């Protein structure tokens, strides 16, 4: 082809999504397949969301409310911020893209840690923005002082990505660490470096020292918060997320989004899900129980894993099975279980395991047990 694409597009490595169930059934000839690969809610979608979406189907001929009035209003009540501080996105992924588009021109930089959720460097690259990575600490956590150094020493750094907890590691930065970091970043280049606190897994968090992002948002002038309906609310397929940001920034971000970026069913379903307190409570409980069961299982089998504040665990397959992450992934596909290899994160000896329902967790355990037996033979 004689067309010249920008080099940052030519060299782009696209996001690798979790393998779909149907594709696995087709390729491996297995009938019963469970997916524990995309940190989805194993209980399915919020029933209140489903009911509201069904009711709204008769209006599908209409374009959605471009201002997202009702959902933004409900979110502003929930988060105790003003209506103008809420920006809706087609998943929180889109809000990441919108923030990069608002802050950066090609040639600018974002700062993140190795192991950061892959959508960050990809969304940046698509827009000609490279990511400067700091190394993770030995215990697979973000090294905030190293990130601060990168921010200070590169004048074209405009954005910093902090998913807390991070995916796929599940590790987090503490209130103390983050507060010191944010106070320092605020002093750099007149507060012009912006920090994205991504709390996609906030509702699952158990650790007392993992800070409330909205409190930090109130305290520091250069912080935005991201949250999503894709995890605890069970609405990954609906694609709705949101950002909380200062109105003077939100004004710009609203300008660079497409007018109907969230669908009609998305707006209606997300609003209804917010009121589904029973479902949220049950989802938290199932995850806590599942995490506990899976941690005990991996401990008993001497398969190392990282401590996680999300709805997933990152296990070390090299030490656990003498195999790479992709090898264990492949072997488990044949047994009808889809996990997530993370070699693309520079973690070839690890596998991410989403916590399922108790019956799904039993199937996952069976697959791991059979691999372990095979290894010991």
Ligand X SMILES: Cc1ncc(COP(=O)(O)O)c(C=O)c1O
Nearer to ligand X, 93 or 308 (CB): 93
Alpha helices in the chain (DSSP H): 7-10, 21-28, 47-56, 69-79, 92-103, 119-126, 144-153, 175-187, 213-219, 247-256, 264-274, 277-300, 317-321, 325-334, 358-376
Show contacts with ligand X in window 286-345 (CB under 6 A). none
Q: Which is nearer to ligand X, 170 or 320 (CB)?
A: 170
Q: Which long-range contacts (CB under 8 A, 24 or more apart) does 327-333 make?
A: 328/371, 331/371, 332/367, 332/368, 332/371, 333/19, 333/24, 333/27, 333/28, 333/30
Query: Contact letters (x/-) for ligand X, 125-164, by CB under 6 A?
Result: --------------------------------------x-
**How far is residue 104's CA from residue 25's CA, in Å, rounded to a whole number?**
42
Q: Would you give the distance in Å from CA 116 to the centre of its chain?
A: 10
Query: What is the nearest approach in angstroms of ligand X to the Cβ of residue 160?
Result: 14
The residue within the footprint of ligand X, chosen from 24, 123, 134, 167 (CB under 6 A), is 167
Q: Which residue has the tokens 């995309």?
A: 38
Verify binding: residue 241, ligand X, rule CB under 6 A.
yes
The edge-to-edge listing of strands for the beta sheet with 109-113 is 86-89, 241-244, 223-228, 194-198, 157-163, 109-113, 130-134
* From 42, 68, 91, 234, residue interacting with ligand X (rule: CB under 6 A): 91
Point out which residues pair with 133 in neighbouring strands: 112
Stretch that binds ligand X, among 9-17, 88-96, 176-184, 327-335 (CB under 6 A): 88-96
Smallest separation (angstroms) from ligand X to the CB of 281: 21
How many residues of this chain interact with ligand X, rule: CB under 6 A?
Answer: 13
Which residue, 93 or 222, is less far from ligand X as judged by CB? 93
Asked whether position 93 contacts ligand X by CB under 6 A, the answer is: yes
Write down the least CB distance from residue 39 to ligand X, Å. Answer: 5
92 is an interface residue for ligand X by CB under 6 A = yes
Give the nearest distance from C-beta 227 to ligand X in angstroms: 8
Residue 270 in contact with ligand X, rule: CB under 6 A: no
User: Among 44-52, 89-97, 336-344, 346-354, which window interacts with ligand X (CB under 6 A)?
Assistant: 89-97
| CB half-sphere exposure, 130, CA atoms < 13 A | 9
What is the chain's alpha carbon radius of gyration, rounded to the nearest angstrom?
21
Instruction: Give me the least distance between CB of 369 and ligand X, in Å please.
Output: 28
Q: Which of residues 13-42 bind ligand X (CB under 6 A)?
A: 39
Of 9-17, 91-99, 288-296, 353-361, the segment contacting ligand X by CB under 6 A is 91-99
Does 97 bind ligand X (CB under 6 A)? Our answer is no
Residue 266 or 320 with smaller CB distance to ligand X: 266
Per the structure block, which two tokens stand in for 161? 């990505």
Task: Give the residue nearest to ligand X (CB).
Answer: 91
The phi, psi pair for 306, rounded to 5°, reads -90, 150
Query: In sequence order, what are the beta bridge partners of 163?
Result: 198
CB of 191 to ligand X, least distance (A): 24
Give CA separation, 303 vs 248, 310, 320, 360, 370, in Å. Answer: 49, 19, 4, 19, 14
C-alpha–C-alpha distance, residues 130 and 54, integer Å: 42
Query: Which region among 5-13, 86-94, 133-141, 151-159 touches ligand X (by CB under 6 A)?
Result: 86-94
Q: Which is nearer to ligand X, 230 or 254 (CB)?
A: 230
Interacting residue ranges for ligand X, rule: CB under 6 A: 39, 91-93, 117, 163, 167, 198, 200, 228, 230, 236, 241
């Amino acid at each position: 082809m004689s067309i010249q694409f920008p080099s940052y597009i030519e060299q782009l490595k696209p996001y690798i999504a979790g393998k779909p169930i149907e594709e696995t059934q087709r390729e491996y000839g297995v009938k019963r397949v469970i997916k524990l690969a995309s940190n989805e809610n194993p209980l399915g979608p919020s029933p209140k969301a489903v009911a509201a979406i069904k009711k709204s189907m008769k209006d599908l001929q209409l374009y959605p409310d471009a201002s997202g009035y009702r959902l933004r209003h409900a979110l502003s009540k929930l988060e105790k911020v003003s209506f103008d501080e809420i920006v809706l996105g087609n998943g929180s992924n889109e809000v990441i893209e919108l923030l990069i588009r608002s802050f950066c021109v090609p040639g600018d930089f974002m700062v993140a840690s190795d192991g950061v959720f892959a959508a960050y460097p990809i969304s940046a690259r698509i827009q000609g923005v490279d990511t400067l990575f700091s190394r993770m600490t030995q215990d697979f956590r973000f090294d905030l002082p190293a990130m601060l150094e990168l921010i200070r020493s590169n004048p074209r750094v405009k954005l910093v990505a902090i998913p807390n907890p991070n995916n796929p590691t599940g590790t987090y930065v503490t209130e103390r660490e983050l507060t010191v970091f944010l106070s320092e970043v605020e002093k750099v280049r007149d507060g012009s470096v912006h920090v994205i606190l991504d709390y996609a897994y906030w509702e699952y968090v158990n650790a007392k020292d993992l800070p409330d992002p909205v409190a930090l948002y109130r305290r520091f002038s250069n912080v935005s918060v991201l949250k999503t309906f894709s995890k605890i609310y069970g609405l990954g397929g609906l694609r709705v997320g949101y950002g909380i940001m200062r109105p003077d920034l939100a004004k710009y971000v609203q300008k660079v989004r497409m007018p109907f970026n969230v669908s009609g069913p998305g707006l209606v379903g997300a609003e209804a899900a917010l009121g589904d307190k029973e479902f949220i409570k049950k989802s938290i409980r199932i995850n806590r129980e599942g995490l506990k069961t899976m941690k005990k299982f991996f401990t008993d089998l001497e398969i190392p894993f990282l401590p996680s504040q999300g709805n997933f665990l990152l296990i070390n397959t090299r030490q656990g099975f003498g195999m790479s992450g992709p090898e264990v992934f492949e072997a488990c596909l044949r047994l009808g279980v889809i996990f997530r290899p993370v070699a693309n994160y520079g973690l070839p000896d690890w596998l991410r395991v989403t916590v399922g329902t108790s019956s799904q967790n039993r199937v996952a355990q069976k697959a791991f047990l059979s691999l372990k037996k095979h290894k010991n033979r």
